[in-house]
Structure 1
Amino acid sequence: MKFAYRFSNLLGTVYRCGNLNFTHDGNSVISPVGNRVTVFDLKNNRSNTLPLATKYNIKCVGLSPDGRLAIIVDEGGAALLVSLVCRSVLHHFHFKGSVHSVSFSPDGRKFVVTKGNIAQMYHAPGKKREFNAFVLDKTYFGPYDETTCIDWTDDSKCFVVGSKDMSTWVFGAERWDNLIYYALSGHKDAIVACFFESNSLDLYSLSQDGALCVWQCDTPPEGLRLKAPRGWKADILQREKEEEEEDEEEGDRETTIRGKTTPAEQERVGKVKYSRLAKYFLNKEGDFNNLTSAAYHKKTHLLVTGFASGIFHLHELPEFNLIHSLSISDQRVASVAINSSGDWIAFGCSGMGQLLVWEWQSESYVLKQQGHFNSMVALAYSPDGQYIVTGGDDGKVKVWNTLSGFCFVTLTEHSSGVTGVTFTTTGHVIVTSSLDGTVRAFDLHRYRNFRTFTSPRPTQFSCVAVDSSGEIVSAGAQDSFEIFVWSMQTGRLLDVLSGHEGPVSGLCFNPMKSILASASWDKTVRLWDMFDSWRTKETLTLTSDALAVTFRPDGAELAVATLNSQITFWDPRMLYRWAPIRGRHDLKTGRKELDKITAKHSAKGKAFTTLCYSADGQSILAGGMSKFVCLYHVREQILVKRFELSCNLSLDAMEEFLNRRNMTEFGNLALIDQDAGEENGVAVPLPGVRKGDMSSRHFKPEIRVTSLRFSPTGRCWAATSTEGLLIFSLDAQMLFDPFELDTSVTPGRIREALRQREFTRAILMAFRLNEKKLAQEALEAVPQNEIEVVSTSLPELYVVKVLEFLAASFEESRHLEFYLIWTQKLLMSHGQRLKSRAGQLLPVVQFLQKGLQRHLDDVSKLCDWNRFNIQYVLAVSKQRGMKRTLEPVDTEEDSDASDEDSLHLLRAAGEEEEEEMLI
């Protein structure tokens, strides 16, 4: 099994904090999610998280005008220059302070960064051939408080900066003679946003109290003139001018040298002046509904404003006509963005983790996504690997599509936190357990709760499991230490299994038999036989409290995680126990901000809380109260690889050692500063409180891994953590991994064998070289009528590799029928011999099933639509024919009219069917 798993995607969290951006074409939204960036492709219905991460949560993102580069700045001031084309980091930089906003000029030559009460202008990277990508050009002073926003003129000559000192400052990007800086005042609260009008120096400024000021400039952008240089710069320019005149030998010309103007022009053009034309008020509900964000589209003159109550307004400027006023959330609108065409508006609500894209003309949602309000605690893969279901502390159950990365259904029937989720073997039913005392079964066809399982007396369920047949549902209780068993068909309580003397922490059914394994805090794991009077079959005694239990996919091995950071393996048939894996040092837990002990001592109380076998059963994943996930080889009992889920220092328990900068003469600054009135005050939690006080002003969630699952295909695995739902998949793009390679296998000889029509030899050499494009070329060169002969002549070892390649090709290739023929011929000719390796081939078969099922869902809808349309056409034509026999048509016009009527009815029926499919 290969272990080249790399971070692939981040689901479950769509927006955390920072500013939203639309791409240059307006079809994608760039959303900062913690210390990562996710790109939501609205046109192709995909979401991708860039394979990069900052040290802290992202504060702001600046996008270049051409959409190729992005500057990502985190809360600590560290910046990443990212190429959105190749999705890689080009340069690292640190601005030495907290950055509030960053904005590129429209011509792409410069960008401005605001930090503290200053604005710094840098040369844009890539426009000049230089070693340093970030070259400081000028520093602008003026505001007395922190700066908040930036906007540029269309010609990149000036930019405006808003500040918390209730003033707006206009600066020149060049050394203009008639505009150095201009301060505008007239607001009574901090400036939230400021915007220039299109092709003008007129601007709008908005403050936090909802006031909008319209400012008019008496000078057009063409009226700005460059300041004449003095000293040695003037001498150099004069010398260059004389040399140009001597070379060109032209007549006398009136040439302006870098802003040198004649005295007549200086008298004609005066200083730039601003005057306030009007002042409007957006907030009609009082001081409690502050303006939090705004965006302005210059071409359509559309102003979008978001408020703390979740309401947003759409106004047309400069007349200030109200277009829409809607409420999208009960939390503050943290960020607003408009795409290039002005049709789509993106809203980000950090309190609920919502991301909305709204089309204001049709008043409909283009995208509406929301993650779990609290942390996710459980996840499960569907049997075909297409979907992932997650449950959170907020009581919601969400189903995610692994291909698109979007949540397509949210189930809200639970009234308390969800503790466990699982799929049945058919993949059409989701079973969940909750602390509200219910176990619910949901139908994925109709998206409804069709079964609710309850106990005779109120209890809190901590885990849930369903047997391989899907007929028996069991759940473990936290308070009564019992296991409840129900029938899926009738919903009746079949039995209550007693015997544990502590809370039940985990349940798992044997995939091959109806044997239930239950782990408890009473240091035992009990095996229950579901067909033998519900009695305890065996009791496995452990050395510490059991936290998690899982069976190997073939049911021949049982793994248990205990409180002493060990993973114990048992043979459930012979009750044989192997030597345990001791993973205390592999966890590498971090030191929390308020800990008075070192990370090494705090690791003594940490353990693995979730386990998961790989698809082939040779390895096991383990995670817990740490940012690391450990992958162990079961037989060798060695640590194969350790995956770091997050490097975000904005989370707690991330650093191994104490930061000396936070140490004062009185001790740790986090323990001293307990002032709740300050914005950055740290509140010391009560003993035993692990999730923190959500009502406190300062909250740092602790990094932890709550659940791990391998995909049935074995190509990826998922983990629910404080950061969200992280997907790790096999990275085979830049991996050179040949198989039985020798000097006779070269790309030239493969193509030569194809020219000689030796297809079997060419396929064998291509898969020995293990190059994807060569294997595709060799397979697609085989004629369709010779596929059966070639597939029969392939050795058994290479049949598995060809099946893996076909399964991967189903996800991206358009040659569906061709690869289906290959798959059918291989399975028909080698199916009997492959039965002996059914356990090893199970991930490959499930990978094939995943691709085929996705195509089946897409093609079946199209076929059904065509079939119903054809039936409708036949019925209409038959009805018309009967009418013609009863009432013969006299003229050709009547027949033409009847044909037009049938075509019109067919077109109308097709449009209705298409609307139903879209809905």
Structure 2
Amino acid sequence: MKFSYKFSNLLGTVYKRGNVLFTPDGDSVMSPVGNKVTVFDLKNNKSETLPIEASMNITCIALSPDGYTFIVVNEDGEALLCSLISKTVLHRYHFHKNIHSIKFSPDGSKFAVTRDSKVLVFHAPGKTREYNPFVLDRIFYGPYDETTCLDWTDDSKAFCVGSKDMNTRVYGAEKFSNLIVYSIGGHNDVITGAYFEQNSLDLYTISENGRLNIWECDTELNGLKPCEANKGMISKVEIHSDDEEDNLEYEGEPKNEAKTVKMTKEDEAKLVDKILYKRTARHIYKDTCRKNAAFGRLTCTAFHKSTHILVSGFDDGVFYLHELPDFNLIHSLSISDQIISTVEFNKSGDWIAFGCAGLGQLLVWEWQSETYVLKQQGHFNNMNCVAYSPDGQNMVTGGDDGKVKVWSTTSGFCFVTFTEHLGGITGVIFNHNGHVILSSSLDGTVRAFDLNRYRNFRTFASPRPAQFSCLAIDHSGDVVCAGAQDTFEIFVWSMQTGRLLEILASHEGPVSCLSFSPSQSLLASGSWDKTVKLWDVFENKGAKETLTLSSDVLAVSFRPDGGELAVSTLNAQISFWDPVYATQVGSIEGRHDVGYTRKENERITAKTSSFGKAFNTICYSADGKCLLAGGRSKNVCIYSIADQMLIKKFEISCNMSFDGMEEFLDRKKMTEFGSLALVDTEEGKDISLPGVKKGDMSSRHWKPEVRVSCVKFSPTGRAWAATSTEGLLIYSLDSNLVFDPFDFDIDITPSNVKKTLAKGEYSTALMLSFRLNEQKLIQEVIEGIPVSSVEVILKNLPDTYIDKVLTFVATMIESSAHIEFYLIWASKLFMLHGPKLKQRSQKVMASLRSMQKNVTKKSDEIGKMCDHNKYSLQYIISMSKAKRKYSNIDTSANKHKDNDDNDDDDSGLDVVANDSDDDDIYKLVGNDSIDILQDEESTGSSDMETT
């Protein structure tokens, strides 16, 4: 088994914080999810999380106009220059301050960054050959408070910046004689958005209290004059806004102070040429949107210049669409009762993306048709459990928010959410055919959901209230079991009738885990009373065997063939037991593998803190040779059961925004009063109460702790999933990067394999290609074998190569366009070697599951395509019939007319010919009709000859 698992995708989290962006083609949305970036392809209905990680949560992103590079900035001010083509980090730069916004110029030559009260303009990376991609061009000063937003003109010669000092400033990106800096007031709150009109210096400014000002400039965009070389003495000149209202107090706003800049005498003489702004209109959202109603704070805006549409989001979940400059209300809609964090238009202006950080929600809305293009939302709280469907196509997750979500492993989207539970979800599982999902909850119910009709069709409850902490279903799908953490009992129900069959009461502590044996009717239950009990739920009422452990049991899992039981305990040990003889066959010490981590406010060392950590979840691989384990740390471990040793350790996150990431005490955070985390240095940052692990419990400042709550292997063995604080992480095998030859020899080269294939020695060429184990070479050899020789080759192929052919064919059915060709290989393979494959089914189980998944997927895709084309073909056939019918009527009428004129007696021949013409229509229907037509035509011709 290969262990080159790489990070593949992040599900369950679609948006955390920051701004969202559309790609230049408008078909994809880029959304920051923690310290990663996910790209949602709206055209192909797929999502992909880029393998790029920042050291902390991302706060803002910027995409270059060509769509090749983008910049992400995290909470600490660290910027990463990344390539969207290679999906790698090209350069790192540290601003050392919090960044509110970053944006490329329309021509792609520069990008501007708002940092504190300054604006930094850099040369865009990649335009010039320089060692340092971040080359600072100019620093612009002026604001008296933090800068909040910025926008560029269409020709990239000027930009405007909004600030918390309630002013908006227009800067020249280059040195102009008639524009250095122009300050505009008119607001009495923080500037939320400032936008230039298309191909103009006219300006729109929006403040947080819902006021919009429209400013008209007396200079055209091409009227900016480049500054000549400075000559003469330097003098100080005061520049005031031309608008009288800007220099007066407005609703409590202080007067704008004069700006003092250094200018030459020649520039002083040209003061009359300076650009001037004048306010032409002023609008208030409250007056035009919702009169006499409570109005929220404006949190985000976006303006599409070509269509003149302004979208505004508020902290009460309401957004408005206005047409500028008349400020006509187009539409208003409420997404939720949470704050809308960001909005963005696509290139054409048809789609609007909304991000809601409070709910972790991402929406793409088409405002003209008033329909959702994308509507995705992750779990509101922690994600607790995950399960794969038997074919590996779907995954189900449960969270503390009481929701059960089903995700597609192919697209990465959630396609159904069940909200019937009233408490946190503790366990989810599929039945044996994958059409039913069962979930257990702390609300005292176990619910069954139908994936065909998307409804809760059965609810299992206990005679007295109980909080269910774990769930299991037998391999036949007839018996459902759930363990209670408060009554210490196990409840057994019938899946068919929903009746309670049995209550298993023998544990003396909370039941923490359940697992059914795949091969026999044996149930294993683990408890905090340091025992694992084996039950025969069909025959005996009492416990069949009791396994005594040295510590509290946290997780149990049966091997896929049912021949072994793995048990994880609180002392970080994993022990292996024979369920038939109830004897221990091995153990693994995982204390050092869990990882040494310390929380930010802990006063003990990481090594001391690790004594309270253990593996809370374990899972066998598809072949049963390896074990996957995770717990209260950032590490997930894969163990070899035969060798009882660690094979590989995965660090699921490097996000320092989470608690429990550091191993050593950071001396930079130490003060004379102790650790900075334990000192109330800023307003709103209090010390959390002892024992608080999640939620906002008397603490305004809370950092989530990194942990892994559940791990599962895919039935295909090609991937595994882990539910963590970040979301649902998917790790999969990348076979293209692994060189794994089989019975390798010095004479086995690609050229020799191709020569053997050219000679017609197909069996030898096939075996040589598998020994070299190169994907493209194997594909070339198999596709070069004639279909007529497939059966003979497979009949004489050794068993070792049969397994490899099965795995390869299962993979190619998913990606190749030659579906029928590979299905012939699969059919012949199962017909000839079916009994042998059944005998070693556990060994090839991963390949069989992969084959089932890919064949089912292709069947569904082709079925949908046929259903879509069926009506088009019916329409074409009906139109062809009608057209042929009218043409035959005209032809028949003309022939009869000619026959009457000539007084011929061969009208019967005309009738026969017309009938055969009518029958030609049915040639479009199928081969059977064509055969019938041929018979009729031959009969007709013989009749003609006889006549």
Query: Normalized against structure 1, the TM-score is what?
Result: 0.90
Which residue, 716, 719, 724 being the options, matches 1:716? 719
How much does 1:353 deviate? Answer: 0.3
Q: Does residue 316 of structure 2 align to residue 309 of structure 1?
A: yes
CA distance in 1, matches of 2:27, 2:484: 48
- What is residue 256 of structure 2 aligned with on the other side? none
For structure 1, which segment, 315-324 or 41-50, has the greater mean C-alpha deviation from structure 2 after superposition?
315-324
Contact 2:689 2:698 in 1 (8 A): no
- What is residue 734 of structure 2 aligned with on the other side? 731
- What is residue 768 of structure 1 aligned with on the other side? 771
Amino acid aligned to 2:733: L
How much does 1:279 deviate? Answer: 1.1
Amino acid aligned to 2:446: V
CA distance in 1, matches of 2:772, 2:205: 63
Shift in alpha-carbon separation, 1:275–1:564, aligned structure 2, 3 A: same
How much does 1:79 deviate? Answer: 1.1
CA distance in 2, matches of 1:435, 1:718: 24
CA distance in 1, matches of 2:276, 2:503: 83
| Aligned pairs for 1:245-324 within 5 A | 270-283=273-286, 284=290, 289-324=296-331
Amino acid aligned to 1:198: Q
* Other structure's SS at 1:838 match: coil
Residues 876-918 of structure 1: CA deviation (Å, up to 9, x unaligned): 999999xxxxxxx9999xx9xxx9xx99xx9xxxxxxxxxxxx
How much does 1:276 deviate? Answer: 1.1
Shift in alpha-carbon separation, 1:315–1:866, aligned structure 2, 3 A: closer
Contact 2:688 2:697 in 1 (8 A): no
How much does 1:438 deviate? Answer: 0.5
How much does 1:584 deviate? Answer: 1.4
* Other structure's SS at 2:736 match: coil
Q: Does residue 66 of structure 2 align to residue 66 of structure 1?
A: yes
Amino acid aligned to 2:572: S
Contact 1:223 1:269 in 2 (8 A): no
* Other structure's SS at 1:733 match: helix
Contact 1:671 1:682 in 2 (8 A): no
Shift in alpha-carbon separation, 1:47–1:484, aligned structure 2, 3 A: same
- What is residue 354 of structure 2 aligned with on the other side? 347
- What is residue 242 of structure 1 aligned with on the other side? none
* Other structure's SS at 2:841 match: helix
Contact 1:104 1:110 in 2 (8 A): yes
How much does 1:870 deviate? Answer: 7.7
| Aligned pairs for 1:72-83 within 5 A | 72-83=72-83
* Other structure's SS at 1:600 match: helix
| Aligned pairs for 1:389-404 within 5 A | 389-404=396-411
CA distance in 1, matches of 2:780, 2:430: 39
| Aligned pairs for 1:39-58 within 5 A | 39-58=39-58
CA distance in 1, matches of 2:427, 2:43: 34
| Aligned pairs for 1:651-670 within 5 A | 651-670=658-677
- What is residue 236 of structure 1 aligned with on the other side? none
* Other structure's SS at 2:649 match: strand
Which residue, 436, 461, 466 being the options, matches 2:468? 461
For structure 1, which segment, 631-640 or 788-797, has the greater mean C-alpha deviation from structure 2 after superposition?
788-797
Contact 1:482 1:500 in 2 (8 A): yes
How much does 1:669 deviate? Answer: 2.1
- What is residue 168 of structure 2 aligned with on the other side? 168
How much does 1:687 deviate? Answer: 2.7
CA distance in 1, matches of 2:878, 2:136: 75
Q: Does residue 433 of structure 2 align to residue 426 of structure 1?
A: yes
Which residue, 810, 816, 820 being the options, matches 1:817? 820
Which residue, 589, 592, 603 being the options, matches 1:585? 592
Q: Does residue 796 of structure 2 align to residue 793 of structure 1?
A: yes
Contact 2:317 2:340 in 1 (8 A): yes
- What is residue 27 of structure 2 aligned with on the other side? 27
How much does 1:772 deviate? Answer: 1.5
For structure 1, which segment, 837-846 or 263-272, has the greater mean C-alpha deviation from structure 2 after superposition?
263-272
**Structure 2 unaligned spans of 5+:** 233-263, 885-891, 896-913, 926-947
| Aligned pairs for 1:838-853 within 5 A | 838-853=841-856
Structure label with greater radius of gyration: 2
How much does 1:816 deviate? Answer: 0.9
* Other structure's SS at 1:788 match: helix
Amino acid aligned to 2:750: P
- What is residue 381 of structure 1 aligned with on the other side? 388
* Other structure's SS at 2:805 match: helix
How much does 1:286 deviate? Answer: 6.9
- What is residue 243 of structure 2 aligned with on the other side? none
How much does 1:872 deviate? Answer: 10
How much does 1:13 deviate? Answer: 0.3
CA distance in 1, matches of 2:894, 2:212: 70
How much does 1:865 deviate? Answer: 5.6
Which residue, 537, 549, 558 being the options, matches 1:530? 537
Identity of aligned residues (%): 59
Residues 333-365 of structure 1: CA deviation (Å, up to 9, x unaligned): 101010001111000000000000000011000
* Other structure's SS at 2:374 match: strand
CA distance in 2, matches of 1:457, 1:571: 35
How much does 1:682 deviate? Answer: 2.8
CA distance in 2, matches of 1:330, 1:866: 43
* Other structure's SS at 2:529 match: coil
- What is residue 156 of structure 1 aligned with on the other side? 156
Contact 1:674 1:684 in 2 (8 A): no
For structure 1, which segment, 498-507 or 851-860, has the greater mean C-alpha deviation from structure 2 after superposition?
851-860
- What is residue 561 of structure 1 aligned with on the other side? 568
Contact 2:736 2:775 in 1 (8 A): no
* Other structure's SS at 2:113 match: strand
CA distance in 1, matches of 2:681, 2:473: 48
Which residue, 442, 452, 455 being the options, matches 2:449? 442
Residues 51-86 of structure 1: CA deviation (Å, up to 9, x unaligned): 010010001001000111000111111111111011
How much does 1:864 deviate? Answer: 4.9
Amino acid aligned to 2:299: T
* Other structure's SS at 1:811 match: helix
CA distance in 2, matches of 1:93, 1:436: 49
* Other structure's SS at 2:222 match: helix
* Other structure's SS at 1:500 match: coil
- What is residue 505 of structure 1 aligned with on the other side? 512
Amino acid aligned to 2:526: A
CA distance in 2, matches of 1:215, 1:751: 73
Query: Normalized against structure 2, the TM-score is what?
Result: 0.87
CA distance in 2, matches of 1:790, 1:167: 80
Amino acid aligned to 1:459: A
For structure 1, which segment, 663-672 or 338-347, has the greater mean C-alpha deviation from structure 2 after superposition?
663-672
* Other structure's SS at 2:171 match: strand
**Structure 1 unaligned spans of 5+:** 233-260, 882-888, 907-919
Residues 447-473 of structure 1: CA deviation (Å, up to 9, x unaligned): 111110010001110011000000000
Contact 1:21 1:63 in 2 (8 A): yes
- What is residue 251 of structure 1 aligned with on the other side? none
Contact 1:209 1:287 in 2 (8 A): no
- What is residue 570 of structure 1 aligned with on the other side? 577
Q: Does residue 554 of structure 2 align to residue 551 of structure 1?
A: no
- What is residue 237 of structure 1 aligned with on the other side? none
Q: Does residue 615 of structure 2 align to residue 608 of structure 1?
A: yes
* Other structure's SS at 1:839 match: coil
- What is residue 744 of structure 2 aligned with on the other side? 741
Contact 2:178 2:271 in 1 (8 A): no
- What is residue 837 of structure 2 aligned with on the other side? 834
How many residues align? The count is 859
How much does 1:776 deviate? Answer: 1.4
- What is residue 619 of structure 1 aligned with on the other side? 626
CA-atom RMSD in angstroms: 2.7
Shift in alpha-carbon separation, 1:419–1:825, aligned structure 2, 3 A: same
CA distance in 1, matches of 2:873, 2:322: 49
Amino acid aligned to 1:847: S
CA distance in 1, matches of 2:697, 2:303: 34
- What is residue 599 of structure 1 aligned with on the other side? 606
Which residue, 362, 382, 404 being the options, matches 2:369? 362
CA distance in 2, matches of 1:607, 1:682: 31
How much does 1:95 deviate? Answer: 1.5
Contact 1:589 1:625 in 2 (8 A): no
